[in-house]
Amino acid sequence: MKRERIFWGLVFILCGVFLIVSKLGYFPDINVFSLLLTVFLVVIIIKSLTRMNFPGILFPLAFISIIYDDQLGITSITPWTVLFAALLGSVGLSMIFHKRAGWIHDKHHWDDYKFEKIEVEDESHVKYGSSFNSTIKYINSDNFEQADFNCSFGSLKVYFDNATIRNGNAVVRIDASFSGVELYVPKTWNVEDKTSGFLGSLSEKNKNDKITTSTLTVVGDIKFSGVEIIYI
C-alpha cells in the first residue's frame, strides 16, 4: 500500500517538524505530546471511517476524550468508563453491521495484488466466518487458490497441511477484530504479509529458510487482533 506509507511518512515528518519548532520556543501554551497524539488518533479515525472499522473509530475517540477530559468536564467517567463504553459500542456496531466474507462480488488491491471476493465455495476457493466462538478449520484441496476468513471476538485455527498450491501462488484474506487467528502452513511455503490494521500484528513461528515451493500471500485487516503463521 504505497500511498498509505507515503501518507504516514508525511504525518511523521510534520510531527517531527512541529516538535522541533515547539522546542525552539514557539507555541509555548500547547502540550506537544497531547497535540501529536491527537493528530495521530484523528488520522486513525479518518482511515477507519472509510472502512467502517468501528473499533478504529470509537477507541481513538475514547482516547481523545481521556486526553481532554478536563476541558470537556468528563473527568468523572475517564478513563475506564469511556473505554468500556467504546468496547461495548464496537461490539454492538460490529454485530449490527457485520461484513460477511464472500457474499458479494468485489475487488480489493493490496500493493498491486488483486484479491477478488468469492461467491461460490469450491475446492480452490474457501470462505469461512466465525464470531464469539473458537473454531478449527481444515483445508483439504489439491488446487488451493484463495481463502476468505472473517473472525470477530473469537479464535480461529486453520490447517493448510493437506492443501496443495498448483500454480505456485495463493492468497488468504483475513478480516479479524478482537480475535486470535492461527494459520498452520507447510514448511515449504513462503508467506508474504500484506495485511494492515489497527493495534494488530502478524507473526511467524518455526519459519523454514529452505527453498520454498509455493507462496501464500496474506492480505486483509487486523484490528485489535493477532495473526500467527505456524510452519508445520
Task: Give the model confidence (pLDDT) of 100-131 as tens digits.
Answer: 444 333 444 444 444 455 444 556 788 888 87
pLDDT at 60: 87
Residue type, 107: K
Domain locations in the chain? 2-96, 107-231
Q: How far is CA 93 from CA 24, 81, 88, 180, in A?
A: 45, 18, 9, 20
Instruction: Compute the radius of gyration of the chain from its Cα atoms.
Output: 21
The number of CA neighbours under 13 Å toward the Cβ of 131 is 9
Question: How do beta strands 155-163 and 134-141 pair?
Answer: parallel
Which three cell numbers mark 157?
485455527
Is residue 41 pLDDT above 90, yes or no? Answer: no
- Residues 167 and 145: beta-carbon distance below 8 Å: yes
Contacting residues for 226 by C-beta, under 8 A, at least 6 apart: 180, 181, 200, 201, 202, 203
Please, where are the H alpha helices in the chain? 2-23, 32-51, 54-67, 69-72, 80-96
Closest CA to 34 of 12, 63, 10: 63
Is residue 215 pLDDT above 80, yes or no? Answer: yes
pTM of the model: 0.60
Task: Give the model confidence (pLDDT) of 57-85 as tens digits.
Answer: 888 899 989 988 888 888 899 889 998 99
Task: Give the model confidence (pLDDT) of 159-191 as tens digits.
Answer: 998 888 888 899 999 988 888 899 999 988 888
CA-based torsion, 10, 16, 21, 27: positive or negative: positive
